[in-house]
A = this chain, B = another copy of it.
Amino acid sequence: MDASWQPGRWGAQHESEALDARTRDFAQQVLGVPVPAPRPTMQAVRASRWSHGDLEQLFPGVNGSVDDSERARYSRGMSYLDFLAWRSGEVLDATDAVLFPDDHDQVLSILQTCSREGVVVVPVGGGTSVTGAITRDGSQAPAIAISTRQLNQILDVDVESGIAHVGSGVTGPQLESHLVGTGWTLGHFPQSWEQASIGGFIAARSSGQSSSGYGRIEDMLLGARVATPVGTWDVGGFPAASSGPDLRHLVLGSEGTLGVVTSAQLRVRPRPTIREYAAAVIPGDFGRAIEALRHLAQSPMRPTVVRASDTAETDALLMMSMPRGALGRAFSAYLKVRSALPGSLLILGWEGTRASDVAAARAHTREILDGAVWLGGRPGRSWERGRFHGPYLRDALMDQGYLVETFETVTRWSNVASLHQTVQQAARSALGERSYVMAHISHSYDTGASLYFTVLAGGWSDPLESASRWRAAKADITQAIVSGGGAVSHHHGVGRDHRAWLPEQVGAIGMDVLRSVKTALDPRGIMNPGALL
């Protein structure tokens, strides 16, 4: 969380206030007239059990705070429900303290104290969870949040091996700005990139917009150091090995329930000097785009970025972001003449260090995507400029009393079209008339693809009522996802919001295995209880 943090908003208010005219028009047309919602405000906060003096006694030498605003800030993530809560005016059930340890050893000693004293610990990186992974859930035990903000050192870059060793509190921009001089990039750009931390990426098992080219965080994590209540746990460290089970994959996705990742060794890749983005439309229903993406994913030369919007999202994007006036009309006319609409908008990106490699990859893509109507570089570049803009837009839409939330899943190719329809129907029926349900494939693999849904609805101005309506709708939708053969989550994680469905995916024995690992590392059960398990 940076200094510009505001309660209940992704970004500074001046950015989120701006809802441009086309987006406003689109929202009014499909969701109805906006009804302003209460603004998010810093709320009254439950008193801490401790004074600052208590904190110093419990955790000597560790920076910490019992201030209401710090405690509030570290008690919620950034889901729609979290942001609604900031608008509700209710008294906030905040954590008792926030600690800002400087190094691994301080984290270890904090965990030992908390284990001894029975204090609940919630590790918080950028605080951008959208699954309730760091959200207070009514637990009555004394609790602290550990912020990894101070664990922000770049420890080493092995330029020969392409391995960056960094503190877990390093954010996306901090890492990339350090790497820019070394000729390397991590290439991990989830939409939360501006604020999220390396530790959070690992804990949530995240995936970025360039995953086709750079892989998911689990493909990047060579090794990690984890502070646990029973001591220091070092996992991995090798490019690959057959030395028994790979314990990195227990840390990845552990969501703070096993310990605190304090540093990570990350595979980095040659920093691209050439970046090309383009847009195209695959005419016809979304099934044709799914088929095209499958061929691309199963081919040997993949673009760095591959994204395909369903016809509903394509319509929305064209309405919201196409050039205005005469140029816009000409552009739409061109698409219609080419019979591209209804169709699926594709965003494709090719990155590399040599023009010939990038050109070869682009030519390969165009050859496989025959039948696509190419829109030139402008919409692609526009996507790149706006790639981290989504969360700001959410702030503005929520101010207008609209529901706006996203969720995602993943399944094998042979089930993508069917799951897309199932979830779309479940969402529409859960949200009723004045709603808009759209989706895109954000990540594609040899064997399948993710589906990333955005839902919008009108008439959600009352924060408390909206929270309970959304909980019910989300339950229906998540059940439809899991019953339809989708994973509980593709890149947001389980947290508290998806916890109820994890056993259906993992099975009773899988849950026993997860619990046995937790008991080995956290025998007192202090680490983020209520998340994941």
Contacts and interface: CB of A to CB of B under 8 A. Distances in A.
B446 A162 contact: yes
Contacts of A230: 509, 512
Contacts of A361: 300
Interface string A356-399: 01001100100000000000000000000000000000000000
A160 B352 contact: no
When all copies of this chain in the complex are counted, the total is 2
Closest 4 CB pairs of A and B: A249-B249, A205-B242, A516-B520, A239-B448
Contact of A506 (B240, B244, B253, B507): B244
A233 B301 CA distance: 36
A149 interface: no
Interface stretch (A33-41, A112-120, A322-330, A489-497): A489-497
A509 B523 CA distance: 13
A160 B294 contact: yes
A15 interface: no
B513 A413 contact: no
A461 to B, nearest CB: 32
Nearest to A266: B447
Contacts of A207: 240, 242
A348 interface: no
Interface string A191-228: 00000000000001111000000001010001000001
A519 B516 contact: yes
A205 B246 CA distance: 9
B247 A252 contact: no
7 contacts: A161-B412, A230-B512, A231-B509, A239-B449, A243-B502, A244-B255, A300-B357
A515 B513 CA distance: 11
A347 interface: no
A320 interface: no
Interface in A290-331: 294, 298-301
Nearest to A247: B510
A232 interface: yes
Contact of A239 (B250, B410, B492, B507): B410
B520 A490 contact: no
Contact of A247 (B216, B513, B521): B513
A532 B244 contact: yes
Query: Which of A247, A414, A415 gathers the greatest number of chain B CB atoms within 10 Å?
Result: A247
A492 B447 CA distance: 27
A155 interface: no
Query: Which of A163, A230, A244, A360 gathers the greatest number of chain B CB atoms within 10 Å?
Result: A244
A412 B206 CA distance: 24
B301 A488 contact: no
A121 to B, nearest CB: 17
B233 A510 contact: yes
A158 B241 contact: no
